[in-house]
Structure 1
Amino acid sequence: MPSKLDAQCAMCSLNAENSTQNGNSQGKGLNNGILFLLAFPFLLGGGIAILWYTKFRHKETKSPIL
């Protein structure tokens, strides 16, 4: 198993492979850009989940003993 995996579309991986063969570091920047764009939906979903949890959690209410 490879120790590091980078997921890319076919055109992105082809461009990254061609750029690294010529000694450029554009492939690494491309991977970082993809990860940056991928992080936003997860942060947005996590923020919505935190807001939902704090708004709809029910605190236990103690009823007075009569």
Structure 2
Amino acid sequence: MLVHVEPDRCCGSGQCVLAAPEVFDQNDEDGTVVLLQASPPADLVREVADAAAACPGGAIRLEEGVPR
């Protein structure tokens, strides 16, 4: 799985950090999403999918596949 974020779409709710703190963080200045792992391990797939589903701004996009 590949994770893509669009900070411009992020409203800073922090739902992604609550769901998957190993993969997401928030910018200290404006609270927008910061991606920590673009290709998280398989044991975090459910948490990352939950984070994407909970994102009110639709700032997280998931792509199946392996990193290039």
Same fold (TM over 0.5): no
- State the TM-score, normalizing by the size of structure 2: 0.27
Greater relative contact order (Cα 8 A, min sep 6): structure 1 or 2?
Answer: 2
Q: Is the radius of gyration larger for structure 1 or structure 2?
A: 1
**Would you tell me which structure has more helix in proportion to its own residues?**
1
**Would you tell me which structure has more strand in proportion to its own residues?**
2
- State the TM-score, normalizing by the size of structure 1: 0.28
